[in-house]
Amino acid sequence: MHLLWGMATVAAVYPWISLRWRRALKQRWSRQLLEMLGIRLKTGAGKAALPAGLVVCNHISWLDIFVINALAPAAFVSKAEVRDWPLIGWLCARTETIFLERGSRAAAQRTRERMIDHLQTGAHVAVFPEGTTTCGERVLPFHAALFQSAIDARRTVIPLALRYLDRRGDASRAPAYEGDTTLWQCLRAVACAGGLTAEVRVLAALDAARCERRELARHCHAAIEWHLGQHGGRPQAEAPTDEAPAVIEPDVVLAGQS
């Protein structure tokens, strides 16, 4: 019912309102979805706004999209096949999703240009550079090509470290959407788990204009992996060094709002 409500809003309301209001409705819809599933966003003593730019996050679940949208509405980069999914594909195509076309240089160029256009308007563009989901106990290598748009648009790169916790504050595998797990099985696991928390840590933003894409990918990967290891996850990478790309924002735990 919530999905159908979202589709009705996009079909009947979106054509008559500004982009700013569309994003506000997308953020509210995402927060409502998390509430319905009994998932709360991690809150801290302070609050911070997510700076505009390329948002880079480790990937655990389909829920990641709505967690990020609940914090700051973003245009997500998604594989082109999603466009053909029933209902969801229609909804994604009308909510700023940038579909990643594969198979040719021309297709890759079109995707990069769309990302640049969004970034230059001051919007958030979100990517999962691992290219697939994990159970949350590791961070796979990042694909560097996705970082080029931030360099070309001269925008910042904002790494996010995401994990899901159970009632006791331990890492939960319930939201993990990997392997042969179906969407229904994952949704049922989340609903049955109850009391889940999505904790998002906003890491220091990087000045993409002063870096090359492989350097950005390496630093974002190391920073996310290190913070997940330091705050209860499995990964234990070395902390980013002073030779890392230029940092322009302080590290802070982003407080979610229900």
List, for residues 4-17, the tens digit of each pLDDT value. 888 889 889 998 99
Which position has the higher pLDDT, 50 or 190? 190
Whether residue 161 lies inside any domain: the answer is: yes
Given a contact cutoff of 8 angstroms between Cβ atoms, the answer to whether 164 and 177 are in contact is: no
Angle among Cα 213, 107, 103 to the nearest 5 degrees reads 95
Based on the structure, what is the number of domains in the chain?
1
pLDDT in tens, 195-222: 899 999 999 899 888 888 999 999 999 9
Structure token digits, residue 67 = 């967690």
Cβ(42)–Cβ(253) under 8 Å?
yes
Which CA distances in Å does 64 have to 14, 21, 92, 105, 177?
24, 22, 15, 29, 10
Per-residue confidence (pLDDT) for residue 246, from 0 to 100? 52
Q: Which domain, by its residues, includes 201?
A: 2-253
Domain presence at residue 118: yes
Task: Tell me phi and psi for residue 172, to 5 degrees.
Answer: -110, 140
Rounded alpha-carbon distances, angstroms, from residue 218 to 3, 78, 120, 210: 37, 21, 24, 15
Quote the tokens at residue 113: 């240009």
- Residue 33 forms part of a structural domain: yes
Specify the pTM: 0.85
- Residue 258: inside a domain: no
Instruction: Judge whether 9 lies within some domain.
Output: yes
Report if residue 51 sits inside a domain: yes
Per-residue pLDDT tens for 85-144? 777 788 888 888 888 877 667 777 888 899 999 999 988 999 999 988 888 888 999 999
Please answer whether residues 245 and 206 qualify as being in contact, where contact means their C-beta atoms are separated by less than 8 angstroms. yes
Instruction: Compute CA distances 126 → 66, 139, 193, whole Å.
Output: 11, 17, 27
pLDDT at residue 125, as a whole number: 95
**Alpha helices for the chain (secondary structure H):** 2-12, 19-36, 63-71, 88-93, 105-120, 148-153, 183-193, 213-230
Q: Is residue 61 part of a domain?
A: yes
